[in-house]
Structure formats: structure tokens, C-alpha cells
Structure 1
Amino acid sequence: MENGIQVKNLRKEFKAYSSRSGLKGAFRDLFTRNYKVLPAVNDINFSIKKGEMVGYIGENGAGKSTTIKMLTGILTPTSGEIIVNGMNPHKERERFVQTIGVVFGQRSQLWWDIAVQESFRLLKKVYKVSDEQYDQHMNHVIKTLDIEPLLDKPVRKLSLGQRMRCELAAALIHNPPLLFLDEPTIGLDVLVKLKIREFLKEINEKYNTTILLTTHDLSDIEALCERVVMLDEGNIIYDGGLRELKEKWGDQKELQFQFLEAVDIPAVKKVTSGLPVVWEIEEKDQIFTATVEDRDELISQVIAQVVATFKIKDVKINETSTEEIIRNIYEKGAVEVG
């Protein structure tokens, strides 16, 4: 399968300027500035096949948005090679932008004071989309995202969830083969998130649209992506399947207990004192969680000792969440790439 994105030894450096102290220092700063060169993206390599949906994840400052901006041609790399849709995003800018859609969760491509449909008409002209293509494609997009009642409203009168659905529709006016989504569900309620996820799955299946998604909401990644690329301080520390990540690092289980009578943490710790268990309590619902290694014998032992001592209302055994797994990876260091 052909690659939609190919990145080789991609690097982006920024200059961080510092000011000298005092009046004398300020005067010297007028002529020469002290600075450090900081790499935001550090010689990374990856490729994404056409039709793939890939999660690009990392903590704040890891280099995710910088990468997206280079892939979309907004920033020029310090060094390295980028081929997106068979083109260099910086050197073939005009032709290139016809082949991508971009949604930045905190930036708008819609005009603030005019009706949504007027923004759509302007973008239709920008992308040179024919009336026939527009009607055929956008009628489906508008219906699926349920934005028909919003078309006559100015963008400034829309709620965040309404605006994000319109932003997504705007990015798809020219039905691009590649869609970049940078925090597209930030601040949205659960129902809007579900609607957007279902829509993204649908366009991926219908048009084989390649999607690169960056988000802090790992439930988006779990719902949409089979593969994740994980970034830390400008370096890729994991590139592979989400399932493999869970199998490799999800080596713990959470045992959740609710008791019929009042119990405190010291009491449950005492009962399991000879076992490798970490206890936590959710005060509001009085849920006691024991985190243990994923070994059947150990899990049985913990449950048996707790049940023998306290009256139990409910017990649940949960897999470690993706969020917990990724937090563990960042705390323990890099994993093998691949």
C-alpha cells in the first residue's frame, strides 16, 4: 500500500532568547542577544499508509503540533525530508493544500461574523470545487454531522460543539484524501464527541481518507485508531499497534471493591499486607481499588483475603486503562520503537 505520509530524519529547532540583567545588560541586548537552540522535533522517522487512521500522542511540549505544522507546510523544517501525498508541503504549496484538510481545535477556518454556509461557499471557491461535486459530497457531510440547522447562523453565535462540527465539515469541502486533526474534540461533550468519531470512521471507510489525529483524549484514539505514534521531548518513543501497546505494558489489573459496611484504607492494607498490592480510594463513591500484577494466582489471593474479612457489595476486575499505560511509559522511559 502506498504511503500518504513519509518522514525521514525530520528536525525542527527554535531559538530561545534570554535577556541579560540590569541596564547595561539591556543595552547589550540591543546589539547582541543570548540564545539557545532547542530542538522541538528531533530527527524523527515514520510513514503512514493511505487509508490509515493513526493517533499521534504525547504530553504538552512533546512536539506534536510542531510536527503537524511541518506536515501541513505551515512551518519549514530545520532539516530532514517530508513527502505528503507525493509532494513536498513547502515547495509545492498551492497544489499541496488542495489534497489536505486541517482542523485545529483552538483555531478557526470559518469567518466569525458571517453565516456558516457563506464560509462554506467561500472555501468552495478557494478549493475550486464544482457545484456538482459540492452538492454530491457536502449534502452527505452536512446531514451526517447534523449541522443543517446551523448553516444560517453566524459562527460567533455557535456553541463550541456546533462550531467544531462546522469546522470539520469545512475541512472536507474538497473531499481531501488526507485529514489532519489537532485536538478536534477539545472541550466537547460526550454526545458531540461520539457523533464526530462515528463520522470520521464513516469517511475513512467510504473514501479511504487517511487521518492523523493528535489529542489528549485517549478515548478518541481507542475509538478510532489501531496504531499510535508516541512522542516525548521531540523523539518517537513508540510506533506500533494500540493492542500491542496494551499487551506489552498493560501488565496490571485493577480490582475494585465496594463494601456493605464502613471500611478504611488502613484496614484493607492490613488484610493484604503480605501481597504486592497498591490501594487507592475514591472517596465520593467509597470505591477501593487494588492495583496488582496480572497474575491469576495473585488476583485470586487478594480477592479471597478481602472477601474473607469484609462484607462485599460489589467486585469488578478491570484492565489497566490506556491512559494509565501511557502514564507508566512516560514515567519509566522509552519503549522499543516498532
Structure 2
Amino acid sequence: MDVIEVKKLRKEFKSYSSRSGLTGAFRDLFTRNYKVMAAVDDISLNIKQGEMVGYIGENGAGKSTTIKMLTGILTPTSGSVIVNGMDPHKQREEFVRTIGVVFGQRSQLWWDIAVQESFRLLKKVYKVSDKDYKEHMGYVIETLDIGPLLDKPVRKLSLGQRMRCELAAALIHNPPLLFLDEPTIGLDVLVKLKIRKFLKEMNETYKTTVLLTTHDLTDIEALCERVVLLDEGKIVYDGRLDQLQANSVELKQIEFQFLKDISEEVLPKKGNVKWERKDPYTWIAMVDGDETQVSKLISEVVEKDPIKNIKINEISTEEIIRKIYEEGMATS
């Protein structure tokens, strides 16, 4: 069963520019220069019940705009959106009872009242019975370890504490679909681990479908088997994360630690090799090729300069995605 069905979805915005000088400002009073920008450009996407999908891309790629259309906040310029069997914009009141949303930079909790009072207000809004609230929220509060925070005003919570409470608030009505837009932004490692563990348990226990947008790719690696990669409003990859990594096995990362300070001019430039300086004595080579090319590069470097250490690193998901973007920009 598809929880999210998106076909040829498009969202356009007008971008205005001002003319320079007093004359230009006067002309702007009567006519404005503008151009139409497509933030989301004819994307199609299907997500099944119980999936945890990473929706990733650079700033301005269209991730948050997509989330806002899927949640009914924005109306699409064209295309169709069906979420939980409903049109998010046209059936808004009924639809919002079937989703949970966490925006990392916006709060749904009331700033000056205790967390538990915000929870009670949301319980009334979503018409959750006392029995369901006690059973479900008891589990959520215990798992997220927010019991000691319930009687504190939101304004007195740290960022990590507030984000755990925000996540709990989004799950008061136990929605089958959860949208997370940068939920771990600015959080420390321990809080991130706690949130990841909780999301995994929710997915396993309730088959909650999760659509996650984030710049922290360790969140994606920890939670999502499938990733959707967005670039300039278009989907450039939609598939399994391990397949994305497998398709990039030819990309190797070799770390050379020299005995002296080495300038880039003396490093080999043959083939598909890119060099990055880590520190005065260490250079990292990005090699796009097979084992033969890697061996040849190592031999060339060792022949020229004394080496203290050589290390072949596993390529991170971040490097793989950066390579996809660079190849896309080179062909565009």
C-alpha cells in the first residue's frame, strides 16, 4: 500500500529583483522585474507503508518545499499529491489527524507553559481518548526519557530536551505517517543517538512511515534503507542506500602521511585523481578507478617522497553524494 503518491509535482515561486538607484526605485513602484523559479520541478514519488525514507539534497534543492506540499501547508502549482488516501490541501482538517510533523527550527509547543500542558492541549485538539493517550504516550515519554521535563516550561529546556519533547508532541495521536524536517539540527551526539533509537523502535512497533530530510547523513545511514536525492528541484536518485554505495565502489580515498611538508605541485596528477590537504603533512587522494590505478598511484607517490603512513579509507555517503552533485553540475 502506498502511503504517499506524488505525480508530476511542481511548485513555482516568483523571484523579484530591484533596480538600482532612485530612478530604479521609482520605476519599481509601477513595474517589478521578476522571474519564475521552480523549487520543485515535476517530481514523482511513491512511498509504501512502514518505509523509512531519507529525502536529501543541498540547501535550496526543494526538500522543505516538498514536505510543505505533502503536509498541505503549500498548494502545488501543478501535479497531484495523495497522502494517506487524501488530498492534503483540500481535505486538510481530516488529513492532519493522520500525520505527525517535526520542523527542526519551528516549535509546536507553547513557549511559556509546562510541556505536559502542551501535551494535554494537543490531546484535545486531536481528540485522543484518555486510554489511548495513557498507553501510547506512556511508552513515548519513557523511551524518549522526558518524564523529568514534563512540568518545566518549554522556554527553560535545552535544545536537545526541546527536540525530544517536539517529537513526542508530534506522536500524541500515534499517526501512521511522520514527517521530520531537520529534526536533529544542532543537537549533540548523545541526543541524536537517543532520537534515532526511538524512531527505529516506533517504526518496528507501529509500522510508522517516516520521511526524513536532513543534512546529517549519519542520520540517514542509521535509519533509512532508501534514499531520494534531490538536486535543483529534480530527483536524481531514488533507491536503496546500499545500492548507491555499491555503485560508487570505484571511488577510493587514500590518505598519505608524509615525513615533511609537501606542496600540491609535486603530487601526481595523472588519471582521475583529486587531492585534498588534511594538514601540512597529510594529503588525501580521491581516485576514481580500479585497484590497478590505486596501486599505480601509491607507487608513484612512494617513489618521489618519503612516506610515514598510508591508509585507504572507506568512502562515506557524504563523499558519494558530493560526487553525484559534481558530475551533475559538470554535465548541466
**Please, what TM-score do these two structures have when normalized by structure 2?**
0.91
* Identity of matched residues, %: 71
2:152 maps to which residue?
153
1:173 maps to which residue?
172
Deviations along 1:74-123, one digit per CA (max 9) or x if unpaired, are 01111110000000001111110000000000000011111111111111
1:287 to partner: Cα distance: 3.6
1:177 to partner: Cα distance: 0.4
The 3 A distance-change label for structure 1 pair 171 and 309 is same
Q: Distance in 2 between matches of 1:43 and 1:101?
A: 25
2:260 maps to which residue?
262
2:326 maps to which residue?
331
1:282 to partner: Cα distance: 1.6
Q: Distance in 1 between matches of 2:329 and 2:239?
A: 13
1:74 maps to which residue?
73
2:275 maps to which residue?
279
Q: Residue 333 of structure 1 aligns to a residue in which SS?
A: helix
Q: Residue 144 of structure 1 aligns to a residue in which SS?
A: helix
Q: Distance in 2 between matches of 1:32 and 1:282?
A: 52
> What is the root-mean-square deviation of aligned Cα atoms in Å?
2.4
Deviations along 1:243-276, one digit per CA (max 9) or x if unpaired, are 22222234211122345x435246972xx57676
1:288 maps to which residue?
283
The 3 A distance-change label for structure 1 pair 292 and 37 is closer
1:98 maps to which residue?
97
Q: Residue 291 of structure 1 aligns to a residue in which SS?
A: strand
The 3 A distance-change label for structure 1 pair 274 and 127 is closer
- Which residue identity does 2:86 align to in structure 1? M
Q: Residue 106 of structure 2 aligns to a residue in which SS?
A: coil
The 3 A distance-change label for structure 1 pair 85 and 273 is closer
The answer as to whether partners of 2:226 and 2:238 remain within 8 angstroms in 1 is yes
1:45 maps to which residue?
44
1:289 to partner: Cα distance: 2.1
1:33 to partner: Cα distance: 3.4
The 3 A distance-change label for structure 1 pair 35 and 296 is closer
Which of 297, 304, 317 is residue 322 of structure 1 equivalent to?
Answer: 317
Give runs of aligned pairs for residues 241-252 of structure 1, distance below 5 A: 241-252=240-251
- Which residue identity does 1:255 align to in structure 2? I
The 3 A distance-change label for structure 1 pair 22 and 147 is same
Give runs of aligned pairs for residues 1-338 of structure 1, distance below 5 A: 2-23=1-22, 25-258=24-257, 261-262=259-260, 264-265=262-263, 269=267, 277-283=273-279, 286-304=281-299, 314-333=309-328
The answer as to whether partners of 1:19 and 1:34 remain within 8 angstroms in 2 is yes
Q: Distance in 2 between matches of 1:279 and 1:332?
A: 17
**Please, what TM-score do these two structures have when normalized by structure 1?**
0.89
Deviations along 1:184-243, one digit per CA (max 9) or x if unpaired, are 111111111111111111111111111101111111111111111111111111111112
1:292 to partner: Cα distance: 2.0
Q: Residue 249 of structure 1 aligns to a residue in which SS?
A: coil
The 3 A distance-change label for structure 1 pair 171 and 263 is same
Q: Distance in 2 between matches of 1:298 and 1:71?
A: 46
Q: Distance in 2 between matches of 1:105 and 1:92?
A: 25
Q: Distance in 2 between matches of 1:30 and 1:309?
A: 66
Q: Distance in 2 between matches of 1:256 and 1:20?
A: 50
The answer as to whether partners of 2:272 and 2:289 remain within 8 angstroms in 1 is no
Q: How many residues of Structure 1 are paired with residues of Structure 2 in the alignment?
A: 330
Deviations along 1:40-95, one digit per CA (max 9) or x if unpaired, are 11111111111111111111111111110000000111111000000000111111
Q: Distance in 2 between matches of 1:265 and 1:60?
A: 33
Q: Distance in 2 between matches of 1:22 and 1:313?
A: 60
Q: Distance in 1 between matches of 2:109 and 2:233?
A: 31
- Which residue identity does 2:260 align to in structure 1? A
The 3 A distance-change label for structure 1 pair 20 and 156 is same
The answer as to whether partners of 1:63 and 1:233 remain within 8 angstroms in 2 is yes
